[in-house]
Chains A and B, each alone.
Chain A
Amino acid sequence: MLFTSYEFLFLFFPLVFFFYFVVVPKPLKLYFILAASCLFYGFWSFKFLPLLLGTIFTDFHLGRMIGQSTNEKKKKQLVVFSVVLNLTFLGFFKYFNFFLDNANSLLSLLGQSHLAGLGEIILPLGISFYTFQSMSYTIDVYRSKFKPYDDFFPFAAYVTFFPHLIAGPIVRHSEMVNQLSESTKKSFNVELASRGLVYFVIGLCKKILIADNIAASINPVINMMSIATTLESWACAIGYTFQLYFDFSGYTDMAIGLGLIFGVRFPQNFNSPYKSFSITDFWRRWHMTLSFWLRDYLYISLGGNRLGVTRTYLNLFLTMLLGGLWHGASWTYVLWGAFHGGLLVIEKRFNLDKKTSFVFFQSCLTFFLVVIGWVMFRAEHLDLLLVWFNKMFSLEGGWKLLHFSARTRDRFAIALVVGMALVWFCKNTTELDLKFKAFKPLAALLAIAFFIGILFLGSDSPFLYFQF
């Protein structure tokens, strides 16, 4: 169920809101939100609900066992078990066929027979997100940063909480478990709900009016990149850059908005990433919750910057490489991760991650590199990537827009121009929230914007980060 679907906007959310704030008594609110979140997940597939709940149950109890144990060796075994178990499930569902296909390609080259496959493996929705959230709990308990929770249900409600279940933000248990427990004891908070409404409507408009209009134009052209012109290849690259940002940040805004309506604050996930002056700065602003998670649980676990310069660079590179792989089972994601990892190492090595008086040029270069990275990210396979880059850099493909549909071309242009203006010259949603004043004209404007967003619903356009 998408946040931008009719079922969510006019059925699921109003019902959950009504029951949560009007019907369900305070002692039962936590259980209700857990049940509603399970129903939300089950709308996609009830078959995978046991996996989600099983992951949470296992990690919760492993956390308790780690917390209760005084034997360091046993603690380590338990946390390793938690990590291995989570990564096994993630690895199996997400990467089994990828590794098998690559192994079979290698075997073919060596003249050996292929390994048997298991057919199509469905990727459980949100698995990349909820395993990270659940796993971070056991690691934190092992590191003695936090005591284990006594009550299973607040922890379960935290992992399954529907606003962030499917595509983040990756919220730490410390940021949310107590918040969720506290919010269930309180009444409806009008101020938070007002702010939540602002976030939600802005997110809806970002997704529906900007991201989807860009996607409608560029997707068909990307699918036939071999006949696209040079101008079209660049239009697709830049278009996707903005599509991805508005799609994902739009989703995040909606998630944050929903959280606020229920009295829970999620952390910021985007901080105007296309205003970055370096790739290092970019990763402090893009999908921040993932960046921080990778820093705290992967980079630091690998040794961080404590083991010398060369090892620091290697750890940085590996973290980004694995971060790329996390996004999906394709060599293009790995390449994207390696690309960013390499750039981060170069910046660190030559001190290029500091703002200088040439910040405008730094920002332009950073944006250019980010666009190149997104081409790798978007290309579903290496063949398409090579064709796309060839079109972009050979400059021989012509400078006309021949294959952009006449039906969607105007909307694409408007969405792109508006998107650029918003990204480079306006405050982001979090900055707007800081200056939020409950003016009636703003409320009226939001209502009209919401209505316009509803008019553009209808085509089934899932959020891009759902596929991860």
Chain B
Amino acid sequence: MKYKSFIGTFFFTLILTVLGHVFFISLIDPQQTAPLSLSKSHENYHDNFLLKKVKLIERFPFETLILGSSTSEAFLVSEVNHHFKTQSFHASIGGGSTVARYTLFKKALKSNNSLKRVIYIADFFEMNKLSVPDLIAFNNELKMEIDTQDFMPHMGHYLKYLFSHQMLESAFLVMKRKRKNYHSPLLVDGSTGQSMILSTVETLASFNSKISSHNRIKLNEEILENYGTYSNNVLAGFEELNIHAKNLVESLVSESQKKSIEVIFILAPYHESFRKKLLSNPKLSKRYLEWITFFESLNSQSGVFVYNPTTSNIAIDPDSGVWRDGIHFNQFAATYFLKEIAENRRLNHE
């Protein structure tokens, strides 16, 4: 009898714990994705930064939307505003997939009649296997922008997401924020005072600068670490350019054309050493060329301009001083690109 009640107690406690977890997550709703939202989480505290950006997009009037991942962090709102004589919003998301960028674009399109331009900093990794971020897939407001269910997660995935330690940690984070009257570091134009990049390499304030020997050592270590992450994880199993990612990019272009919105694609370059290591893999080398070819093919479309700095000075000079690591260049390099694009457009219009 005691063994029966032992097993009975085990399952009873388990069920109670599961229900308690679901109740707790529904109450806090840290990522605005709970199955039942039992309370409305103040928009300052919740942990769905995509939704936070969308709320800002809906409130803040702007003409230029900057889309990208951490590589686009270098493209400062002030520099874009200056070179394009515009008011821009920085909608970049760390590790931002094509789905995340497209969602933000659609929200901007819906809520902002003054949108004239999209600056899309394209990353090579985007075109690998596409997965819809959970923050979008399980939030009703965000997922409505994704038309196709072909690549949306299913109920099994949702249960894994709900019963994950990340969700529980996110709930505790939200509770902590409420207690400490947290203020979001997000500014009204979408930028933040905090960098997404952890590198300690000191870069230089000129496009043609050369890195110091001291920073060279640090940079090499960063590149080695980037290579490990990219080759084992981010770019693993890269068999072909993802068809859904390509379709989303093309949809972004066609929907922009309908509203006479200019689209500028900037193909984010890599540091020469990093790129050489990565592309020594023949499969990745092929994918990289296909990625460039795909975006350059969009150049022929009306209202689209593709800027390809993947063979610019900073991308072929291993001693370039603008690199924070193998993937992220600094704001001075980004400003140089912006200047070139603005100049090129000015010449085209004359």
Contacts and interface: CB of A to CB of B under 8 A. Distances in A.
Contacts of A446: 10
A223 B225 CA distance: 9
A406 B10 contact: no
Nearest to B4: A190
B172 interface: no
A447 B198 contact: no
Contacts of A191: 3
A223 B232 contact: yes
10 closest A-B pairs by beta carbon, nearest first, are A447-B13, A443-B9, A438-B6, A190-B3, A447-B14, A455-B165, A443-B10, A444-B13, A440-B9, A438-B2
Contact of B224 (A224, A406, A439): A224
A292 to B, nearest CB: 31
A421 B6 CA distance: 27
A444 B160 CA distance: 23
B165 A456 contact: yes
Interface of B: 2-14, 17-18, 21, 156, 160, 163-165, 168, 198, 220-221, 224-225, 228-229, 232
**Secondary structure class of chain B's binding surface, majority of residues:** helix
**Secondary structure class of chain A's binding surface, majority of residues:** helix
26 contacts: A6-B156, A190-B3, A193-B3, A194-B3, A223-B228, A224-B225, A226-B224, A227-B224, A403-B221, A403-B225, A406-B198, A438-B5, A439-B6, A443-B6, A443-B7, A444-B9, A444-B10, A444-B13, A447-B9, A447-B10, A447-B12, A447-B17, A450-B10, A451-B21, A452-B165, A458-B160
A197 interface: yes
A123 interface: no
Nearest to B232: A223
Given A226-B224, A447-B17, 11 more contacts: A190-B4, A194-B7, A223-B232, A227-B221, A438-B5, A438-B6, A443-B13, A447-B13, A455-B163, A455-B164, A455-B168
B51 to A, nearest CB: 23
Given A438-B2, A438-B3, A197 B224 contact: no
Given A438-B2, A447-B17, A451-B17, A224 B10 contact: no
A384 to B, nearest CB: 13
Interface residues of A, number: 31
Nearest to A209: B165
B228 A458 contact: no
A220 interface: yes
A440 B232 contact: no
Contacts of A455: 163-165, 168
Contacts of A403: 221, 225
Interface string A407-443: 0000000000000000000000000000000111011
A197 B10 contact: yes
Contacts of B163: 454-455
A448 interface: yes
Interface in A70-89: none
A455 B17 CA distance: 12
Interface in A201-248: 220, 223-224, 226-227
B4 to A, nearest CB: 5
B14 A451 contact: yes
